[in-house]
Structure 1
Amino acid sequence: MRKNPPAALTEVNAVDRHFVTSLQKGLDVLTCFGRQHSRLTLSEVARLTGMSPASARRSLLTLEQLGYLNSDGKRFWMQPRALLVANAYLSSRPMPSLAQPLLDALSERTRESASLGQLLDNDAIIVGRSTARRSLSAGLGIGSRLPAYCSALGRVLLAGLPPQEAQARLRAMPRVALTRQTIFSVPRVVELVQRCREEGYATNDGELEVGVRSMAVPVRDRQGQVVAAMSIAVGVERMGMHEFRDAFLPMLKRARDTLVARLFPG
């Protein structure tokens, strides 16, 4: 008598049957472009995506024909049509639109940059940002990714995971020293993530960018699950870490609390 397959295996097979590999490859190609990879050759795209040159070529030419990319015959670059994908997310999800005026107000009051991030693979991806006149990290914007292990946003988001899952992620992700101050060893980062769980916020002192301090707090849903993190950054020349925490942590928490109340009313 033939036994029924386990439910989990059935679900995996169902997903496999409906998985469109060519769509995955096209999206991988689109997302391999960035500030440091603004114009890419076929071989560079293949290397960045892990695809064969033939697959990369088909995806590139299809995206070019659809108007998402342009090319001079050797290099490819993004076209404005690609913004339609980002706009679809930003306009259809409540969190970015509700957070933006709060980030703007926080940035205006502090004259510093404020961001909202969510966990994506090994990174915190910025889904909302307001930059003050005293601009820091000029390359950061909506869609920018920060390594979870050494950013204040990322450590808050890791702290929202079960401890074993957070530690497993840390061990699996690439970790390098981006500056002389970067803390990247698993035991040290685990210690900082645990401290964040206990204290309710995380900090970063020149670990991502020399001369820049940042601080982040979790955004939780009604069930207490961390769904995002809100942060603020300051130049080291403006204030020390203790002064930074004392002056800006209360304002950061108030902005976070307002966002939570608007996201999850009642």
Structure 2
Amino acid sequence: MAARPTSGLRRDADLLDVLAGQEARMRGGLGVTRIAELAGREKSQVSRALASLAEEGLVERDPETQAYRIGWRLYALAARTGEARLAYVSAPFLRRLVAQLYETVHLCVLRGNGVLTLVSESSPHAFRSLGWEGVMVPALHTSAGRVLVSDWEKPVLRAWFPEEQFADLPPGQRIRSIDDLLKEIRTIRARGYATADEEFEAGLVGVSAPVRDHRGRVIAAINMGAPKGRMGQRLDAAGRTTARCALELSRALGYETAADLGGAPGAGTPGQSR
């Protein structure tokens, strides 16, 4: 059977496969000659193709070593694809949590210093929060934001949230300094969820719990918000329920706790990063 002609797109995909391979990852990139060898193509053709891919952000070239590596656009596409899968997988877990708490719940991710709501599942209550999908709010003002940075190292937190970010905060905010934030993160790690009591908005309370990927990293937060008169006395119970739901979702994404691994040393636990 005659070989099928290879399209330009297929040839470009072959180059991307080479740059995504183990050798390129271990060396931090590859030169044109080595890429051509691994792809089985002419060096001049590969050089022209890489230049075109670099113009589109699909690969990038190190200005010092001249080595090529995967570009920013592929990482951006992968992140968006990952979030789309996260939103899809989370749907039944969020619905079950609504049925348990009888309150609206949200799936949130971090965007810079802000929290973005990817998905919301509404409660049957007439008085409920609506219209949060796609809305960004400051991370420091919310329980979800604090959960989303709860597995960060202390130096990173200090660099990411300099003291000037704590100036002119609304009166209801508990977290008024980097030391307050570090103390809050210790609490989140210990109990597996965060709470907010009229910090984001007067009369509202909330809880959030971390969702982890297969590496144990916090990639999202499940958040519940409700009027204080309806949920204020049950906030910690809601936090524990939300944490269980977040752990179940994390397991669906490949996360394994010490119990899942039969108590293996060094394995992750619900309140700690692995």
Partner in structure 1 of residue 239 of structure 2: 249
Alignment of 1:122-201 (within 5 A): 122-134=113-125, 135-138=127-130, 140-171=131-162, 174-175=165-166, 179-183=170-174, 184-201=176-193
Contact 1:91 1:97 in 2 (8 A): no
Gaps of 5+ in 1: 1-6, 21-84
Structure 2 unaligned blocks of 5 or more: 1-27, 30-60, 257-274
1:11 lines up with 2:2 in the alignment? no
Alpha carbons 2:212, 2:253 under 8 Å: kept: no
- Residues 1:264 and 1:208: Cα distance change in structure 2 (over 3 Å): same
What one-letter code is carried by the residue in structure 1 that aligns with 2:239? L
Question: For the structure 1 residues 188 and 172, does the alpha-carbon distance in structure 2 shift closer, same or farther, using more than 3 Å as the test?
Answer: closer
- Secondary structure at 1:94 match in 2: helix
CA contact (8 A) 2:98 2:121 kept: yes
Work out which of the residue numbers 76, 80, 98 in structure 2 matches 1:107: 98
Q: Residues 178 and 208 of structure 1 are in contact (CA less than 8 Å); yes or no, is this contact kept in structure 2? A: no
CA distance in 2: counterparts of 1:136 and 1:176, whole angstroms: 31
Cα distance 1:172–1:12, how it changes in 2: closer, same or farther (>3 A)?
farther
Structure with larger Rg: 2
Q: Match for 1:187: what amino acid?
A: D
Q: Which of the numbers 249, 264, 270 marks the counterpart of 1:259?
A: 249
Partner residue of 1:119?
Answer: 110
Counterpart for residue 194 of structure 2:
202
User: Which residue does 2:223 correspond to in 1?
Assistant: 231
* Pair 223,108 (structure 1): closer, same or farther in 2 beyond 3 Å: same
Deviation at 1:202, TM superposition (A): 1.1
Q: Counterpart of 1:211 in structure 2: which amino acid?
A: G
Q: Give the TM-score normalised by structure 1.
A: 0.60
What is the percentage of aligned positions where both structures have the same residue? 22
Q: Aligned to 1:100, what secondary structure does the other structure show?
A: helix
Alpha carbons 2:107, 2:117 under 8 Å: kept: yes
Deviation per CA, 1:184-236: give whole Å up to 9, x if none.
33222222123212322111111111111111111112222111111112211
Give SS of 2:201's match.
coil
